[in-house]
Amino acid sequence: MASKGVILSEMRPTGRLHLGHQSVLNNWVRLQEEYNCYFGVADWHALTTGWEEAKDIRANTIEMVADWLANGLDPEKCALFRQSAVQEHAELHLLLSMVTPLSWLERVPTYKDQIQKLGELGKDINSYGFLGYPLLMAADILVYKANAVPVGEDQTPHVELTREVARRFNHLFKPVFPEPQAIINKDVAVLPGVDGAKMSKSYHNYISMGAGTEEIKKHVNLMVTDPARIRKTDPGNPDVCVVHKFHRIYNSSILEGIETECRAGQIGCVACKKQLTGALEENLGPIRERREQVLAKKGYVEEILQAGEAKARQATVKTLEEVRAAIFG
Ligand code: TRP
Ligand code: SF4
């Protein structure tokens, strides 16, 4: 029997997730059915941009993994782990650093972008770890010999770097690593924040995954609609309306009706928002409940992570044996 392909992806532990992350998680949930999946908490990566939030990483990890489980990741089907608990990631990172030219890291687009962005925030980050963060990501991927990596568009240069590093290692020593493919998630950009900008924690325009009924209502009320529409009978333009973008995802069965009625001035924005609130409640209610159940069981998430880490180690220990043999004979 041909063995199943290996998938690896990770997220930085930012704490509670929001609806912008749902398409990423839905993708992971689909992949867990068909592949041998490893999904990690990139807690070392969280340190590459500074120490300020380090003390929150433990709590944020638990919150984030609770959201993973609430959205349908099944620990029986995939391994959920913390990067920092699987030491082979670090050993491989070190060994790969010996075959990676500095120029490859300096030309990664996020390197200069991020230095500039963080500089504007008054953060002067120029550590060795920050420069090396794409290589740490390469080690995350290669240590599982992953065939494919689901990521957002902004991460594709890192997957490209991973392929180059794999090729170079295979050429210098022995062919140990497959060259992984990126699986690009294009849906991420579809859902805006309530103000129409990108949904992001730092913009405070997000609906969190475990949002309660009141929180959902409040955020839907804040959503920006067609600004040219003054009276209910004015024809509206759903293409410029945030509410419509949410209906597209959470209420697709009645989307066409809403579009027609909006353009004809037959539905008011208040009624339209009410329909969306209902759809969001229907979708998020069960997720909220599961999230609460998961967090109510003390130590449950920790247990799942430890089991996942044991599974992860079975793969990584084997890879490192091969890597050491390839280098040292
Ligand atoms: N670098 C990714 C981010 O900042 C997170 C990440 C770390 C990752 N290791 C990974 C993603 C491995 C995919 C595969 O969002
Ligand atoms: Fe947006 Fe709905 Fe109002 Fe049309 S009716 S502008 S889709 S909120």
The rounded Å distance from CA 225 to ligand 1 centre is: 34
Q: Where are the alpha helices (DSSP H) in 121-212?
A: 128-131, 133-142, 156-172
What would the mean pLDDT of 133-140 be, rounded to a whole number? 98
Mean pLDDT is lowest, of 61-70, 95-104, 122-131, 167-176, for: 122-131
**Which domain CATH number covers 266?**
1.10.240.10
The per-residue DSSP string of 69-96 comes to HHTT--TTTEEEEEGGG-THHHHHHHHH
As for ligand 2, residues whose beta carbon falls within 6 Å of it are: 225-226, 229, 236, 238, 241, 243-244, 258, 262, 267, 269, 272-273
Residue nearest to atom 4 of ligand 2 (CA): 262
SS3 (DSSP) at 191: coil
pLDDT band at 1 (very low <50, low <70, confident <90, very high): very low
The closest ligand to the CA of 108 turns out to be 1
Tell me, yes or no, whether 89 lies in a domain: yes
Q: Which residue has the higher pLDDT, 188 or 93?
A: 93
What would the mean pLDDT of 113-118 be, rounded to a whole number? 86
The per-residue DSSP string of 263-325 comes to HTT-S-HHHHHHHHHHHHHHHHHHHHHHHHHHHHSTTHHHHHHHHHHHHHHHHHHHHHHHHHH
Mean pLDDT is lowest, of 47-51, 54-58, 284-288, for: 47-51
Tell me, yes or no, whether 194 lies in a domain: no
Tell me, yes or no, whether 203 lies in a domain: no
Residue nearest to atom 2 of ligand 1 (CA): 11
Tell me, yes or no, whether 208 lies in a domain: no
The closest ligand to the CA of 245 turns out to be 2
Q: Is pTM, for the whole model, over 0.85?
A: yes
Q: Give me the percent of the chain exceeding a pLDDT of 70.
A: 99
pLDDT band at 123 (very low <50, low <70, confident <90, very high): confident
Q: Same structural domain for residues 60 and 108?
A: yes
* Cα gap 208→193, rounded to integer Å: 11
Closest CA to 63 of 280, 292, 282, 216: 292
* Cα gap 63→289, rounded to integer Å: 14
Q: Give me the percent of the chain exceeding a pLDDT of 90.
A: 84
pLDDT value of position 125: 81
Q: Same structural domain for residues 173 and 221?
A: no
SS3 (DSSP) at 328: helix
Q: Is the pLDDT of residue 227 over 80?
A: yes
Q: Is 179 exposed, middle or buried (0-12, 13-18, 19+ CB in 10 A)?
A: middle
pLDDT value of position 116: 86
The closest ligand to the CA of 270 turns out to be 2
Q: Is 252 exposed, middle or buried (0-12, 13-18, 19+ CB in 10 A)?
A: exposed
**Six-digit token pair at 64?**
């984030």
**Which domain CATH number covers 115?**
3.40.50.620
The rounded Å distance from CA 222 to ligand 1 centre is: 32
pLDDT value of position 206: 94
Q: Which residue has the higher pLDDT, 121 or 178?
A: 178
The rounded Å distance from CA 225 to ligand 2 centre is: 6
The rounded Å distance from CA 133 to ligand 1 centre is: 9
Mean pLDDT is lowest, of 30-34, 184-188, 197-201, 253-257, for: 184-188
Q: Which domain holds residue 232?
A: 213-291
